[in-house]
Amino acid sequence: MTINPANADLVIVGAGLFGLTVAQQAAEHAGVRVLIIDVRDHIGGNAYSYFDKETGIEIHKYGAHLFHTSNRRVWEYVNRFTEFTDYVHRVYATHDGEVYPLPINLGTINQFFRAHYTPAEARALVERQAGEHAHGIARNLDEQGKKLIGQPLYEAFIKNYTAKQWQTDPAELPASIIRRLPVRFNYDNRYFKDTWEGLPKNGYTAWFERMIADPRIEVKLGVDFFDESQPLNRRTLAEAGVPVVYTGPIDRYFDYELGELKWRTVDFKERRYDEDDHFGCPVMNYSDADVPYTRAIEFKNFNPERAESYAPGKTVVWEEYSRFARRGDEPYYPINTDEDKSIYDQYRTKAQLEPNTVFGGRLGTYQYYDMHQVIDTALTAYVEEVAPLLNRW
C-alpha cells in the first residue's frame, strides 16, 4: 500500500489565486482533503496585502492589484467570498512638470496641445502625426507607438516609460507589447473598460482566507517543494502517487534542464510622508527619462471609504523600479521572446507527461494573467484536469 506523506487527497504547490481556487473547488465539489503548501509566509501569492501598523493603510506587498472583469462566471464566483467597493481605477502621468490623465484620451490630447479639438479633429491630428507609420506594418514597439498615437504623444508618454519598464530601447522591442495601446477620442479616463470593477471591502487577505475556510483545506507555509529534507517534496509526493497541482515556475520544476525562462521583476522603495495625501490619486506614472522609477503608488487612495481608520497626517508611497529578474527574484512579467516561447513549449510537452500533476497559474504556464484570468483558468482546470485526476486517485 502506498503511503501518502501529506495525509491529503490533493496537494497544491502555491497559495496564489490559482491554487486557492482549485483547493476551494476540490473541497466543495469532490469533498476531498486538500493540503496547500507555499514557500512564502503568507497566502495570496502576489495579490497578498497587509494592513500597515503605523497608518492602518492596506499595503499591496507586490504592487497594486486591482480587480476587474467582464467574465460573469468569475464575478459571481468571487462575490461568494467578498464584497467589493465601488472603486474605479484612474491613472495620471507626470510629464515635463505637468500632470495628465491616462489612458490617452481627448482630455490628454487637448491639454498636451493646448487646444480644444473635437473627437474628429483629434483623430485626424493623431493620424497626421503618425506620418509614414500610419498605414505601414510596425517592425518594433517604437514604430507601433507612433502608428497608434502619433509621434509627439508617443514620445511624451510612452517611449521613455517603456524604456524604463523594459530597460531596452523601444526600437528593439516587439510591436506586440503595445499592439492595442488605448487612445480614446472622448473624455473617458476610466483605466479599465470591464463590466465589473472594485477592491475587496475587507482587503485581499480576508477574501483569500474565506476561500479556504473549509475545514478540509489545510495550509502549510514556509514549505519548499524542492527541499528533500522535509516530507512534502516533489520526489516523495511523486513516489506516493498523490495528485499535485503545481503553480510554481515550470522551468524550476524540471531543474532548468532545458534552460531558464526570462522574466521582468519589480523593486519597490517605500516613502512615508507626514501628509494626509501626497498625490491626490492612487497611481502616478512618470513618463520622463530623468525619473528612474516608472510609477508611484499611494495606497490609501485606493480605499477612501476607510479614511476614518487611517492615522491622521500620514501616508505611504511606494516607488516602482523595473528590471530583468535573476534567479531567486520574484518573477512578475514573462519576457516571451521567441527563444522563451520555444523553451516553454518544450517544458509544456514534458509537463504533459508528468503523472498525477497539473500545472497552472502564471508561473506554471509562463503567462501574464490578471487576477480574473487566473481564477477563470483555475475554474476550468479544476473541471477538465483536477477532477478527473481525483476520480482516478
Instruction: Verify whether residue 370 is a known catalytic residue.
Output: yes
What the chain holds in terms of domains, given with CATH numbers, is 5-86+199-260+334-391 (3.40.50.720), 105-177 (1.10.3110)
Catalytic site residue from 180, 235, 308, 338: 180
Catalytic site residue from 216, 234, 264, 362: 264
Catalytic site residue from 214, 260, 288, 370: 370
- Burial (Cβ within 10 Å: 0-12, 13-18, ≥19) of residue 195: exposed
Instruction: Verify whether residue 272 is a known catalytic residue.
Output: no
Query: 299-358 pLDDT, tens per residue?
Result: 999 999 999 999 999 999 999 999 999 998 999 999 888 899 999 999 999 999 998 999
**What percent of the chain clears pLDDT 90, i.e. is strictly above it?**
88
Catalytic site residue from 9, 143, 320, 340: 320
What does pTM read for this prediction?
0.94
Contact residues for 126 (Cβ-Cβ < 8 A; gap 6+): 109, 149, 150, 153, 183
Query: 126-160 pLDDT, tens per residue?
Result: 999 988 888 888 899 999 999 989 999 999 999 99
Instruction: Verify whether residue 224 is a known catalytic residue.
Output: no
